[in-house]
Structure 1
Amino acid sequence: MPTDAYLRDFGCGLGAAFVTTSITFPINKLIYRQVLGDGRLKNAFESIRKEGPFYLYRGCLPPLLQKTVSITTMFGVNNSAMIALKRYNMNEYLEKISASAASGTLEAGFMPFERVQVLLVHAKYNKRFRNMFHAFKQLRAQYGLKEYYRGFTIIWMRNICSNSCFFITKSELQKLQIMKDKRVKDSVKNFCSGGLLGLIMSTLFYPMKVMKIFAHEKIGGPHYSVFKTAAAVYKQNGGGLKNFYPGVAMNGVRSLLSWGITNMVFEFLKNVA
């Protein structure tokens, strides 16, 4: 991909990430509190309310930075990989999955931001870590660089699966007649398609998010494998599959808004750039 096109995608990703994260962060924080607590929306909301508005956007900077780089990588690297793979005359879906694997793997390299975000939104760490930079410094000094990448495999698997799902489904949606209907504004179509994809992906891969939060909430000690993490999540709070879905309804609402806004803003900025 030409440099100017890549820079354009970076700028579009920056704008989309900033708008999306700023609007949906409080909802995302509520979801994290459900997962980190007893799973009840009422209790999660009450814990945030008691902390007051000062702490509402605590932990917002890591996902803002991570989303900026992640969205840029997701779209920019995926498009570059698709262009490079064209020469091999691969199957259309295998090509999309391969490109998604490339972008998802690179995205996983920026997971320290997600790692620190979990610590900053957790109430028990409000006094231990002042901000993102302090958290990074403390983790590095006390546990080493490896602590930044606790739960890496879970995030890597999630990225590849969700990216493949996103680009394949988006391509199929674009083939539908409603997406070609000129009477429907592009911004509405982009919001609806992005929101629908976000809702599907967030629900389908939500157990991975719960496992990620479970892994990231820990500081120090052994690094569990994906299977050990899944087993630990299953056994907590009395055991059962319900442990993989606390906050899933609110997450669906957040993802619908988040991906709808992201897709709409990204495509809008890309068209006017």
Structure 2
Amino acid sequence: MESRNAPRWGSLNSSYFVGAASSFLSTVLTFPIYKTIFRQQLHTLTIRAATCQLGKEGVRHLFRGLAPPLMAKTVQGTLLFGTQGSLQHFFSKGGTPGAKSRAFSGCLSGAIEAVLLVPFERIQNILQDGRNNAKFPNTRTIMQEFQTYNKREWLTCGMYRGFTVILVRNMIGSAIFLSCKEPLRDLLTYPGLPAWAPSLGAGAVNGAFTSLTLYPLSVIIANMQAEVGSNLPQVKKVALRVWEKCGGKVSLVYRGASLIILRSCITWGVTNSIHDTLSK
């Protein structure tokens, strides 16, 4: 397994390179699904209503906002698989990593992701909200808006809005995914199956479970980050507003969860399969 050896920069089977390549490909394939989910989270819409909303905006707006997540997910894959390999190698002292070292390295890699990738997610969520199409047609106009903020506003309402929630989500999510990644793959390995199939299945199941578990945090993040202004409500008020918008029903909080499962199955199944195939 790739985690038994320290990753090497510049080699084709480097966990850093493989993580970047697999995440890049899966992001392009699943972006329309993600955008539909985002609209559901933001406006509490049904799948049909969210799809119709995107259809009315036209094909030219379908991939609007792709650049930030494409860069972010590529960096995320590099960090998730690359730092996980390095950290596991360090904590296990070159031996076979145990459950604790996988979980701890996952938490650390998730924290690093949060610090580096929050600005990408912030810009992506602003661009994906149709209400911002006129005022913020591109990334440059968003950056110009944030430049008018003072230092405190730049952190709380600008580029790092929602950082605390994202930090918690990423640390827990990375710990779960990386802890279960290899055990699930080994469990699904049967004689006669193609080499990529167990990794595809393990990534799909693992990604769907992780995303579904953390879905309420993602809803709060989407609502926080789509807003633009220098005096915005913080986490507790946004969470309360989301709860009230959903009429106090957990079922409405989880509206869009079916697409989350579909997207996560595809995204992490493809990512995991490509990663494990290229790592060999």
2:147 corresponds in structure 1 to: 140
Task: From 180, 188, 203, give the equivalent of 1:169.
Answer: 180
2:3 corresponds in structure 1 to: none
Q: Which amino acid aligns with 2:261?
A: G
Compared with structure 1, are the counterparts of its residues 169 and 3 closer, same or farther at alpha carbon in structure 2 (3 Å cutoff)? closer
Q: Which amino acid aligns with 2:125?
A: V
Task: From 216, 238, 245, give the equivalent of 2:254.
Answer: 245
Q: Which amino acid aligns with 1:116?
A: I
1:217 corresponds in structure 2 to: 226
Q: For the Cα contact (< 8 Å) 1:215–1:229, is it kept in 2?
A: yes
Q: How many Å apart are 1:241 and its aligned residue? A: 2.1
Compared with structure 1, are the counterparts of its residues 98 and 5 closer, same or farther at alpha carbon in structure 2 (3 Å cutoff)? farther
Q: How many Å apart are 1:106 and its aligned residue? A: 0.3
Compared with structure 1, are the counterparts of its residues 219 and 32 closer, same or farther at alpha carbon in structure 2 (3 Å cutoff)? same
How far apart are the structure 1 equivalents of 2:119 and 2:241?
A: 22
Which residues in structure 2 correspond to 1:1-273 (within 5 Å)?
1-4=6-9, 8-87=14-93, 92-109=98-115, 110-142=117-149, 145-146=154-155, 147-176=158-187, 178-179=188-189, 181-220=190-229, 221-222=231-232, 224-225=234-235, 227-271=236-280
Once the two structures are superposed, what CA deviation does each residue of 1:226-272 show, in whole Å capped at 9, x if it has no partner? x443322212243332342121111111111111111111222222x
RMSD: 2.2
Compared with structure 1, are the counterparts of its residues 88 and 190 closer, same or farther at alpha carbon in structure 2 (3 Å cutoff)? closer
Structure 1 range deviating more: 128-137 or 254-263: 128-137
Residue segments in structure 1 that go unaligned for 5+ positions in a row: none
Structure 1 length-normalised TM: 0.90
Q: How many Å apart are 1:172 and its aligned residue? A: 2.1
How far apart are the structure 2 equivalents of 1:116 and 1:143?
A: 18
Q: For the Cα contact (< 8 Å) 2:27–2:69, is it kept in 1?
A: yes
Q: For the Cα contact (< 8 Å) 2:7–2:82, is it kept in 1?
A: no
Q: How many Å apart are 1:159 and its aligned residue? A: 0.8
Q: How many Å apart are 1:6 and its aligned residue? A: 7.9
How far apart are the structure 1 equivalents of 2:67 and 2:35?
A: 13
How far apart are the structure 2 equivalents of 1:217 and 1:97?
A: 31
Q: How many Å apart are 1:44 and its aligned residue? A: 0.7
How far apart are the structure 1 equivalents of 2:7 and 2:246?
A: 52
Q: How many Å apart are 1:10 and its aligned residue? A: 2.9
Compared with structure 1, are the counterparts of its residues 118 and 78 closer, same or farther at alpha carbon in structure 2 (3 Å cutoff)? same
Q: How many Å apart are 1:87 and its aligned residue? A: 4.3
Q: Which amino acid aligns with 1:4?
A: W
Q: For the Cα contact (< 8 Å) 2:15–2:85, is it kept in 1?
A: no
Q: How many Å apart are 1:100 and its aligned residue? A: 1.1
How far apart are the structure 2 equivalents of 1:242 and 1:6?
A: 47
Q: Which amino acid aligns with 1:42?
A: R
The structure with the largest helix share of the pair is: 1
How far apart are the structure 2 equivalents of 1:251 and 1:260?
A: 13
Q: For the Cα contact (< 8 Å) 1:233–1:243, is it kept in 2?
A: no
Structure 1 range deviating more: 214-223 or 48-57: 214-223
SS of the residue 1:183 aligns to: coil
Q: How many Å apart are 1:133 and its aligned residue? A: 3.6
State how many pairs are aligned.
267
Q: Which amino acid aligns with 2:35?
A: K
SS of the residue 1:184 aligns to: coil
State, as a whole percentage, how many aligned pairs show the same letter.
Answer: 29
Compared with structure 1, are the counterparts of its residues 193 and 152 closer, same or farther at alpha carbon in structure 2 (3 Å cutoff)? same
Q: Which amino acid aligns with 1:158?
A: R
Once the two structures are superposed, what CA deviation does each residue of 1:69-123 show, in whole Å capped at 9, x if it has no partner? 111111111111112212499x933322211111011000111111111111100
Q: Which amino acid aligns with 2:59?
A: P
How far apart are the structure 2 equivalents of 1:6 and 1:241?
A: 47
